[in-house]
Copies of this chain bind each other. A is one copy, B any other.
Amino acid sequence: MLGGSSNVQSKWKRKSAVTLALTVLTSSQAILIVWSKRAGKYEYSVTTANFLVEALKCALSLAALTRTWRNEGVTEDNRLNTSLDEVSVYPIPAALYLVKNLLQYYIFAYVDAPGYQILKNFNIISTGVLYRIILKKQLSEIQWAAFILLCAGCTTAQLNSNSDQVLQTPVEGWLMAIVMAVLSGFAGVYTEAIIKKRPSRNINVQNFWLYVFGMAFNAIAIVVQDFDAVMNKGFFHGYSLVTVLMILNHALSGIAVSMVMKYADNIVKVYSTSVAMLLTAVLSVFLFGFHLSLAFFLGSTVVSVAIYLHSIGKLQR
């Protein structure tokens, strides 16, 4: 029984560590984006950067695997070889993200960028609903209430004087935002399902296969969206130090997301990225002299209460 309790404790520690890593990486990611925009450096092609992120994640997973092989030897759980049965589902999340990213180009015909930031909060609700439907995990009534509050709180924290324009979004814009939220929620929940289906399988092998298909689908995106630009100006046109840092950060946070899927779940991921959004705003005050609005304080209060309710909602199940 003592072994069981120390097992619970080490699981809890691992869960906390990956959640903290995801929060820190996501908020520094947003800081890097603000930094790169303010430096006016945004001329590199986003598709090539995305491809490099996937390639880097692949390389990091392989590096971690070779260390494991040296220490533990090659076993059934950590060998790279795979069956068609295991690997056949891995392209699905990458394909969903590709469709979502392509849609993102079209939604800006109906909504501006700040409006899109607000509509993106649909992700929170779609992730919760799909988590319930696909993974068949129960959330308590209090946890559902907390999830609605998380969505309302994040949106409130992002309000500015132009936010009401989002209410004038045409039906096409609403529909695309909902479709994108469902695609992104589905990709997240599906990834968790794939990773959790084989609990003893080494996470780095699972990541390797996810990222291989990520590379493949991002190569398609380069051809579809940026073929001419890459051909004429070159693959690395417009890259700078901050671009390299962003690629590095995206790769690490991608791996942190996978770890959260393995050792925690999509709900923890959503809370973690929401807290990261609030942290980013607070850090931006010190780094860029931004001002915090009353709406930000109110939204943060609601998010904090949501986190509290989510944690006490779990205990009472």
Contacts and interface: CB of A to CB of B under 8 A. Distances in A.
Contacts of A148: 301, 305
A155 interface: yes
A295 B155 CA distance: 9
The 6 closest A-B pairs by CB, nearest first: A161-B161, A152-B301, A156-B298, A152-B298, A145-B305, A163-B294
Nearest to A151: B301
A187 interface: no
Interface string A28-40: 0000000000000
Contact of A149 (B155, B291, B294, B305): B305
Interface of A: 118, 141-142, 145, 148-149, 152-153, 155-156, 159, 161, 163-164, 166-167, 291, 293-295, 298-299, 301-302, 305, 308-309, 312, 316
Nearest to A295: B159
A91 to B, nearest CB: 37
Contact of A294 (B145, B159, B312): B159
A145 B309 CA distance: 8
Interface of chain A: mostly helix, strand, loop or mixed = helix
Nearest to A300: B152
Contacts of A293: 164, 167
Nearest to A141: B312
A142 B140 CA distance: 14
A288 to B, nearest CB: 18
Contacts of A145: 305, 308-309
Nearest to A146: B305
A125 to B, nearest CB: 11
Nearest to A301: B152
Contacts of A142: 142, 309, 312
A145 B298 CA distance: 14
A31 to B, nearest CB: 23
The CB with the most chain B CB atoms within 10 A, among A152, A159, A299, is that of A152
Contacts of A298: 152, 155-156, 159
A153 B149 CA distance: 10
A145 B142 CA distance: 11
Given A155-B294, A156-B295, 17 more contacts: A141-B312, A142-B309, A145-B309, A148-B301, A148-B305, A152-B305, A153-B302, A155-B298, A156-B298, A156-B302, A159-B159, A159-B295, A164-B291, A164-B293, A167-B293, A309-B309, A316-B316
Given A142-B142, A309-B145, A312-B141, A294 B166 contact: yes
Nearest to A161: B161
Contacts of A118: 294
A124 B186 CA distance: 40
B308 A149 contact: no
A316 B313 CA distance: 12
